Each structure stands twice: as structure tokens, then as C-alpha cells.
Amino acid sequence: MAGGLRSIGIKKIVPAQIDFTKIVSGSSAGAGSYIALSSDGTPVLVLGASTSGDITSVTAGTGISGGGASGAVTVNLDISEYSDVQIASGDKFLILDSDGSTEQLESVDDVATFMAGAGISASSGVLAVGQSTGITVNADNIATNDSQIVHDNLSGFVANEHIDHSGVTITAGAGLSGGGTIESTRTLTLDISEFSDVQIASGDKFLILDSDGATEQLESVDDLATFMAGTGLDASSGELSVDVSDFMANGANDRVVTATGTDGMNAESNLTMGTYMSCLTRAGIGSGIGDPIATLQVYNDLDADAQDNLRNFENYQVVVKGGSTSGDIAGILLTTTSDGYGGSAIIHHDNGNFGPGNLIMYTKEASSASPPLETMIISGSGEIMKLRQPCFSVYKSSNQDLTGSAVNRVDFDTELFDVNSDYDTTAANFTAPVDGKYLFQGVLEFNALPAGISYALLTLNSSNNDYRFGVVDPQSHADQTDMTFPISCIMDLDANDTVFIDVYVHGSGQTLVLDGGAQSAGSYWQGYLLG
């Protein structure tokens, strides 16, 4: 080299390799440049800031942006300039190593192989989920092959946990009903009807629930009887018997035992009862007789002069006494019901004279809260009044034209009275309320008999029989007016039979006038139940 300097080598070094204490004096390679020795003794040229080179511009190539023709320039990585391509096996990625300083290339195949963990496989850069018996991996889903799955071979399988419910049966044993297969919920119910009747005996036991409400236990009939035997009762081998010695005083034969307070009894020689007395007996009760054949039988022979003896209470077999105040009532009720609404009754009603009065009979029409019906009164003097005996009286309020060659019902349209409401003024007939014998009577009055009428036939009609009570002959009554024809007949009727009166007028185009008006001036009809 010029100036007697020897040639030196130039190599790439880093500042840490330069020994700045070994600067070569007199070296000149440009302003700010100097020659130094490296750590291994090799001389190197260190260029100063004013050193210039031959780079005239920096151009950004593919994947780089930035650059320039002068001054400090900056370049940047720019992958937007690359074109989309189909990734394939063998393609590589530029990656930074985990040490943070080494850049290197890795193929997509290596990346896939690195990422394929358990259950995943890699081949030529493609990842795939592993498949086995019962599982199929498709392009866009994973499906199970149920036909290949064996339930009993699965992990966690417990034997006898999953069985055919139709093959398992719950059977109701003795004293129970219900049950069935376990295909659905079953109920078992206590059913004592399956047990047979037996004769209870000492030592037999009951299944009982203890008073604590939770404990079931067996108790013998003997223990039960002993527990139940309170004062006046003894228990032995399950049998209870009365022991009045616990609380009875004055014990003796042929006496009635009565209560004295809540826990005592007394054998009464003479018994006086309180307000109410109830007697339950399987045999009859006799008064004055030792062997009664009825439920209650009373015997007491009255003296020969019965009417005179009837004045005194002590001569009667039975006495029912009411109060001692004027207007009081004493009575006997006959009933077959327990509804408290009564039945038939016989009462003595004091008429206000302290003893004398009427005997009244009542009957019950329906089982309801309505009072019984007052049906018959026998006065103190002996008169008998049948208050509800069917009885009616009706009359024709105005004249009625009876047409010739026709049967005309007599229209008795006005009632004087109608006990029991058995007469119908609209239909002009009487309906029998009960079976029995009925008395009918009355009068038909006619104004005059036209000469053109051959005859008129008067008939009392019923559902059972018809009774003719008059044939009117104009020839025999040519000069008469206001002729009356009486009716009187006893008829045997059934319940709901109807009775009415009609007149047949023989004579075409003729009219026979039946007189009407007040009862005393016209035609009327009456009926009465004899019995």
C-alpha cells in the first residue's frame, strides 16, 4: 500500500471483538476512521461517520415496503403483496424460534405433525380425528354407529342395572293387592278381604299402630281387653264382664240399678225416672205379666163398672199425662222414621177447662219438615169431625143448552166447597183420591121439553161403571116447566177414577135447556167418601 503501510484484512466483527487500546497510530482511512486490532491480533479498519460508499438508493423488493434514494431510509415487512395460493404438502412457514433470535423455515407437514396430539393423526400436513368401533368421522361431522356399540362393554357399566322391565314383577302377597311388572309405577294396597274369617280366641293378636304414630306392633286380644276394662268391668283371657261390685250400693235381687253421679250405682227397690228413659231389650217388657209376648205388654184388669173406674188414673193400664195448665196437650206419636218430623199421632187437647177437651188424630202426609195433618176430631161431647174426608158440592152457575142427537156433559162450574180439592171445574169431573165407596147425589132441573125431543137420558159416568138415573119423556111432561130429576147413587171407585154427569138428547136439531143459577134455583151435584 502507499505510504509504506502494509496490507490489512477486513472482516466482519462486532464491537465486542475490538480492543480499543490497540489503536494503530497514524492510520488514515478517512475522517473519523481508524485502524485497530481485533482481540485475536488481526488489524481491522474501523470506518468513520464521514466514510462514503457506492450505495445510491434502497429499493423495497417483494414482501418489503419502504426504501429511498437518499438519506436514512426504512423498510418494513409487507405480506399483503403476496398472492393467495392453495397450501400443499411441502409448503413452508417463516417462523421465529422459541429462543427469540433465530429465524427459520418449517414445512406445513412438520407443523401438522407437531400439533397432532392424542386422538389426532397427521399425514402430509393434514390433521384427522381418530375413529374406532362405533364412531365414524365424516368430512363435516362425527357420527355414532349405534349398531356397533355394545352397551355392556362400555366403561362404567354396572351389571343388573339395566334390565328388561317387562320381565320383573312385583307380586302382592297375602293381605295385599296390586303389583305388576315394573314397566310402570305400581301400587301395593292393604287388602284384608283376602283373609279368611276365624273365631277369635284368647292369645290372638292384632296389628296396631302405636300412639307415637310410627311404630307398628302386635297386641294380643287379652292385652286389649285388659286395657279396656275400666271401673265396673273385669277382663279375663280377652273376655270382658260386668263387675258392679266396684261401685254398687244396696245390692239385692229383683232391683234396678241406677247411676248415682259419674262413678256410682244404686240398686233401687222403687224406681223414679228422670226426664228421659231409653230401654233396649231383646225380649218383651211386661207390666203386670210375667211372660210378655210383645215388646211392651201391660196387664191390669179394670173393674166391672169401667166407666166409673175410668175417672181415676190408677185404674188405667197406661197413662200419658200432659201439663196441668189449661190448654195443655198429652199425646202419643206413632212413627217409623228417625228424621224427627213425626208420624201419626193421637192427642188430648185440653179445651181450657182443666181436663175436658177433644181427642184429635193426626197423620203424616210426607217425610218432610212440614207438620202432620189434623185429620179427625172427636169433641168432648162425642161429635166426630173428619176434617180431610173427600167431599164436594158444585152447581151450574147459568143455563146450559144441551144439543140434540149428542151426549152433553153437564158443566157444573162453581164450587160451594171441595175438601181435598178433588173436583175439577174445568173438566167438570170428580177424581177419587183413594179406593172406596162414594155417595153421589144432586138434582138436574130442566126448563121445558120441546115437542121435537123423543127423550133425554140422564147418566152418572165413572171409569168403572155407568148409572142411569132418569129418562125424560116429553109426552109425559108436555105441559110442565122447571122439571127436576134427583140423583142418588153409591159407587165403588178405585183411586184416580173419574166421575161426571152427562145427558143424551134424542132429537136432531133440538135443544134442551138445563137450568142454572144459585144452588137453590138450579142444578147441583155433591159427592162424599163413605169409607
pLDDT digits (tens, 9 = 90+) for 62-78: 778 887 887 788 887 77
Same domain (yes/no): 241, 253: yes
pLDDT of residue 528: 97
Closest CA to 18 of 32, 40, 38, 35: 38
CA 145 to chain centre: 52
Per-residue DSSP letters for 66-134? EEESSSS--EEE-GGGSPP----TT-EEEEE-TTSS-EEEEEHHHHHHHH--TTEEEETTEEEE---TT
Q: Give residue-wise pLDDT tens across range 389-399.
A: 999 999 999 99
* Count of C-beta atoms within a 10 Å radius of residue 291: 8
pLDDT of residue 5: 36
pLDDT at 40 over 70: no
Own/partner pairs, 86-92, CB within 8 angstroms, 24+ separation: 87/125, 88/125, 89/124, 89/125, 90/125, 91/125
pLDDT at 26 over 60: no
Same domain (yes/no): 457, 524: yes
Residue pair 485/476 in contact (Cβ under 8 Å)? The answer is no
Same domain (yes/no): 299, 356: no
Q: Which residue has the higher pLDDT, 339 or 241?
A: 241
Would 136 be classed as within a structural domain? no
For the chain, helix, strand, coil in percent to 5 are: 10, 40, 50
pLDDT of residue 10: 46
**Averaged pLDDT for residues 263-269:** 67
pLDDT of residue 432: 97
pLDDT at 444 over 80: yes
Residues in the chain: 531
Q: Which residue has the higher pLDDT, 512 or 447?
A: 512
Q: Which residue has the higher pLDDT, 92 or 33?
A: 92
pLDDT of residue 8: 42
Task: Give the model's confidence band at 113: pLDDT under 50 very low, under 70 low, under 90 confident, else very high.
Answer: confident
- Tell me the three cell numbers of residue 232: 265396673
Q: Which residue has the higher pLDDT, 53 or 137?
A: 137
pLDDT of residue 3: 39
Mean pLDDT of the chain: 77
Q: Give residue-wise pLDDT tens across range 117-143.
A: 877 888 888 887 766 677 777 767 777
Residue pair 469/525 in contact (Cβ under 8 Å)? The answer is no
Q: Which residue has the higher pLDDT, 474 or 488?
A: 488
Task: Give the model's confidence band at 178: pLDDT under 50 very low, under 70 low, under 90 confident, else very high.
Answer: confident
Would 191 be classed as within a structural domain? no
Q: Please tell me what DSSP assigns to residue 4.
A: G
Would 353 be classed as within a structural domain? yes
**Averaged pLDDT for residues 361-383:** 78
Question: Using CA atoms, how far apart are residues 189 and 206, in angstroms rounded to an integer?
Answer: 18
Would 438 be classed as within a structural domain? yes
Same domain (yes/no): 333, 381: yes
What are the CA-CA distances from residue 488 to residues 407, 440, 504, 527 (Å)?
Answer: 21, 6, 19, 10
HEC readout, 288-350: CCCCCCCCEEECCCCCCCHHHHCCCHHHCCCCCCCCCCCCCEEEEEECCCCCCCCCEEEEEEE
pLDDT of residue 263: 62
Distant-in-sequence, close-in-space partners of 30: CB < 8 Å, separation ≥ 6: 47, 48, 50, 51, 52
Task: Give the model's confidence band at 410: pLDDT under 50 very low, under 70 low, under 90 confident, else very high.
Answer: very high
pLDDT at 173 over 50: yes
pLDDT at 190 over 60: yes
CATH number at residue 470: 2.60.120.40
Same domain (yes/no): 308, 329: no
Same domain (yes/no): 295, 266: no
Residues of the domain holding 254: 218-278
Query: Where does a domain end: 295, 313, 331?
Result: 313
pLDDT of residue 2: 39
Same domain (yes/no): 411, 487: yes
Q: For residue 327, is it left (φ>0), alpha (ψ between -120 and 50) or beta?
A: left
pLDDT of residue 525: 96
Strands (E), 343-480: 344-350, 357-363, 373-378, 384-386, 391-395, 400-403, 406-409, 414-419, 423-424, 429-431, 436-448, 455-462, 466-472
Would 128 be classed as within a structural domain? no
Residue pair 58/37 in contact (Cβ under 8 Å)? The answer is no
R_g (Cα) of the chain, nearest Å: 67
- Tell me the three cell numbers of residue 281: 231389650
Would 35 be classed as within a structural domain? yes
pLDDT of residue 51: 46
Distant-in-sequence, close-in-space partners of 95: CB < 8 Å, separation ≥ 6: 103, 104, 105, 106
Would 226 be classed as within a structural domain? yes
pLDDT of residue 396: 95
Domain tally, the chain: 5
pLDDT at 497 over 90: yes
**Segment among 18-32, 166-180, 231-245, 440-454 with least mean pLDDT:** 18-32
Same domain (yes/no): 248, 347: no
* Highest averaged pLDDT of the listed ranges 45-54, 84-93, 181-190, 500-509: 500-509
- Tell me the three cell numbers of residue 238: 280377652
Closest CA to 116 of 130, 104, 132, 106: 130
Same domain (yes/no): 405, 508: yes
Same domain (yes/no): 430, 342: no
Q: Give residue-wise pLDDT tens across range 422-434.
A: 999 999 999 999 9
Same domain (yes/no): 410, 499: yes
Query: Where does a domain end: 328, 357, 386?
Result: 386
Would 347 be classed as within a structural domain? yes
**Segment among 12-16, 124-128, 190-194, 416-420 with least mean pLDDT:** 12-16
Q: Which residue has the higher pLDDT, 453 or 11?
A: 453
Q: Give residue-wise pLDDT tens across range 212-233.
A: 877 878 888 888 888 888 877 8
- Tell me the three cell numbers of residue 178: 296390586
Coil vs helix vs strand at 467:
strand
pLDDT of residue 489: 93
pLDDT of residue 505: 92
pLDDT at 499 over 90: yes
Query: Where does a domain end: 371, 386, 401?
Result: 386
* Count of C-beta atoms within a 10 Å radius of residue 123: 12
Largest CA distance in the chain: 206
Closest CA to 325 of 298, 349, 358: 349
Per-residue DSSP letters for 198-240? ----TT-EEEEE-TTSS-EEEEEHHHHHHHH--TTEEEETTEE
- Tell me the three cell numbers of residue 341: 218430623
Same domain (yes/no): 345, 461: no
